[in-house]
Structure 1
């Protein structure tokens, strides 16, 4: 339906038709977080950085990421809406927290999507496409914007097919590595070393620590299932869905890292190359198969962009529904196509801003993104503590080992902040920039939203708002 076809509809919160199963949400979530992109892009730098310590770094990173994921699973299960973790935080902590996180991370959406889109040109290079990298990026963004207008069930099927191709490439790397496991493989994994100017040296705790931080970031993203929760038939199960998506991500990311380290017959050549996974596969596969692997990586990136547009388009829709902006903008953002329930204005806005983000320098993009996760983790920890005490969270999914996991979350925040602070070139600047963004966002809430007649209150889909209100009363 069109969400703004009548005056009556304009006065009530809008929502999407509930047509997705839990499996459908898992498919879309794994597509947008894309283990393939994380490994072949982010994982490559981790391998170069930590060497054979990458396996240990990913295992520890999985524990770190689990703590963050378990926290947001509890918050999201208590308020499963397209508003993503921002709305879940606002439900647990108060409207101010929801508005602050919504606004502070607004610019991150097109930047995040653009970083994925520009990677496609790199992996299409072996095919000699006569287009510039910028043009390929623009074509990718235009294509995924158009496809995101389809019914979400159609996107579930499309992303599912692409996801199978992506997983096949990851399993290929893992299987080849295990099949060709070297005699000293266990020693390499248990006694981490990395290359320094072509010489093997022991990987220090600092090196492993930075790799743990980066690998936990590469494994993150299961909470993006929340973006599709308004389309779920049973949104109350979203907490478990998030954990299932996380476990699958851990397997499909760690397996190829392990396979590469234990199976390379020339490990020095692999770790010295900017494309370690492709170099590893080149030791065992003919050139034409390597091209197919490059194509599968490009498909994985495209799939991540498509699923990201579908999910984040819904999050932008939810910003309009909760009236974060002026009335005309809010009205436009909540318009849905009649046939597919796609938030077409939100998607067009997202597509345009993602294309424009191509002209933002890479350094600036990293500054905007790298510190944001650390600050959000603070909200996760506080959200679970406050939500449990007020009875707003914990009814449908409870973070295990409470309060141990939130306490570990405090340690994670401190560790991530220290790692970012030690990186004077990017990390430290990112902390200041992201903290400034959150401060400005709070000021927007305090001096703009709260000065409206009657103030401002976060809104979600009518059925979820009614359900959580009943749960809070019962608690």
Structure 2
């Protein structure tokens, strides 16, 4: 009996040591979602498309993102695991939803990490490194993979220092904009204008609507705190941690957006540029400071990559723990290093697949990424309604306010995002079809592979969280 017990304990996947405070999770979460990357990389395209309407886009997008995030926070508070939204959705709706979400994410995880890594090469160009963009990307992935093997507390400190640099760059832009605020700027914000075909014209509702969708996506990511919940001393507080991270994200991203519109003395030139933030800062700062800003952006992107590897490595670990694959693969993915408690096989898998994605066109990566969040929002809505009805959600650390208003607004958001994507035949419409197909195939994997195993398949998480969930 003792030998049998020891054998079961040895074969069971190891658990992460709970050493992180809520503050540490916030640092890692902000590093993953990276406000600097969202504003200075993704935000560049939004500024170009929406013009002065970008401020309204980020303000309205903040409301949209609040609704989405509050639903994911409720689901995550009820089931705080490294399984992320996927496991939380499965807990609220059913095992099939968890398995489908898990499997659907496999194709996008390397692309999400690779798009960040590619951005570093762009902002290192002013320093004249004698390397190609692909070579810089591959070196970045190799360094990040190595650093992610460190203890999570060490990564908390590393990302914390980088995050201070990132936030300094963002609030520098906001401060310069406020100091040099131009007369009449607020009028242009309320009556949006943008550059189109070299002409200064009004930005219509359709232009601002697409910008709102893009801004809400740029603001999203606070729910990634769930990736680190198994390392928390008190995982029951994860819902509030998610909402605090969202509040900090909204402030840090919206402030520089307002700053560039308020403070540009030649707004048309800024909005017509492919590098609007550099043109804006170039009007007020010497060249060496601009180089430092470029370096801070590169650091922000590196920071996002590092924290992303740390968190998503835990998510891939969770996939192995819940036995989504063949037994040898599951066993390998749940291997942890003895000293740092890092899921080293999962991290190596991320490193190899992220590096391989370097040769994929950016347009293809965006195609697969852009529609996924809309589908996830649909499952957030379903999960909150199903969880409240079954009593699995809404009784924990955090619940969506004004129920059922938030999930009802979520339905409107999903419909609006589908319409916006459908109106974009080049990327959005294709993304809906491709992502829909991926999710359908993922469900088929659950139905025809996982459920044909002897005894079927059941989602599992950490023993203490599973025990907490079953008592509700």
TM-score over 0.5 for the alignment? yes
What are the residue-to-residue correspondences of 1:253-292 with 2, within 5 Å? 253-292=253-292
Please report the TM-score for the alignment, with normalisation by the length of structure 1. 0.97
Q: 1:94 is matched with which residue?
A: 94
Shift of 1:189: 1.3
The alignment partner of 1:183 has SS state of: coil
Shift of 1:341: 0.3
Shift of 1:184: 1.3
Q: 1:470 is matched with which residue?
A: 471
1:15 and 1:218 map into 2 onto residues whose CA distance is: 32
The answer on 1:180 being equivalent to 2:180 is yes
Q: 1:428 is matched with which residue?
A: 429
Q: After alignment, is 386-395 or 358-367 more displaced?
A: 358-367
What are the residue-to-residue correspondences of 1:243-258 with 2, within 5 Å? 243-258=243-258
1:272 and 1:10 map into 2 onto residues whose CA distance is: 62
1:264 and 1:373 map into 2 onto residues whose CA distance is: 33
Q: 2:313 is matched with which residue?
A: 313
Q: 1:418 is matched with which residue?
A: 419
What are the residue-to-residue correspondences of 1:300-379 with 2, within 5 Å? 300-379=300-379
Q: 2:399 is matched with which residue?
A: 398
1:418 and 1:53 map into 2 onto residues whose CA distance is: 20
Q: 1:75 is matched with which residue?
A: 75
Does the CA contact (< 8 Å) of 2:13 and 2:335 recur in 1? no
Shift of 1:13: 4.9
2:40 and 2:119 map into 1 onto residues whose CA distance is: 10
1:367 and 1:198 map into 2 onto residues whose CA distance is: 28
Q: Which string of whole-angstrom CA distances, capped at 9 and with x for unpartnered residues, describes residues 276-308 of structure 1?
A: 011100000000000000000000000000000
1:409 and 1:234 map into 2 onto residues whose CA distance is: 29
Shift of 1:191: 1.3
The alignment partner of 2:106 has SS state of: coil
The alignment partner of 1:455 has SS state of: coil
The alignment partner of 1:194 has SS state of: strand
Does the CA contact (< 8 Å) of 1:13 and 1:461 recur in 2? no
Give the RMSD, CA atoms, in angstroms: 0.8
Does the CA contact (< 8 Å) of 2:225 and 2:238 recur in 1? yes
Shift of 1:325: 0.1
Does the CA contact (< 8 Å) of 2:13 and 2:334 recur in 1? no
2:246 and 2:202 map into 1 onto residues whose CA distance is: 31
Q: 2:3 is matched with which residue?
A: none
Q: Which string of whole-angstrom CA distances, capped at 9 and with x for unpartnered residues, describes residues 287-334 of structure 1?
A: 000000000000000000000000000000000000000000000000
1:44 and 1:134 map into 2 onto residues whose CA distance is: 22
Q: 2:112 is matched with which residue?
A: 112
Q: 2:20 is matched with which residue?
A: 20
Shift of 1:354: 0.1
The alignment partner of 1:458 has SS state of: coil
Q: 1:3 is matched with which residue?
A: none
Structure 1: state its 5+ residue gaps: 1-5
Q: 1:130 is matched with which residue?
A: 130
Does the CA contact (< 8 Å) of 1:12 and 1:462 recur in 2? no
Shift of 1:11: 4.5
1:303 and 1:8 map into 2 onto residues whose CA distance is: 39
Does the CA contact (< 8 Å) of 1:14 and 1:461 recur in 2? no
The alignment partner of 1:105 has SS state of: helix
The alignment partner of 2:457 has SS state of: coil
Does the CA contact (< 8 Å) of 2:14 and 2:335 recur in 1? no
What are the residue-to-residue correspondences of 1:229-240 with 2, within 5 Å? 229-240=229-240
Shift of 1:10: 4.9
Q: Which string of whole-angstrom CA distances, capped at 9 and with x for unpartnered residues, describes residues 46-83 of structure 1?
A: 11111111101100000001100000000000000000
Shift of 1:202: 1.1
Shift of 1:7: 3.3
1:51 and 1:10 map into 2 onto residues whose CA distance is: 59
1:400 and 1:250 map into 2 onto residues whose CA distance is: 18
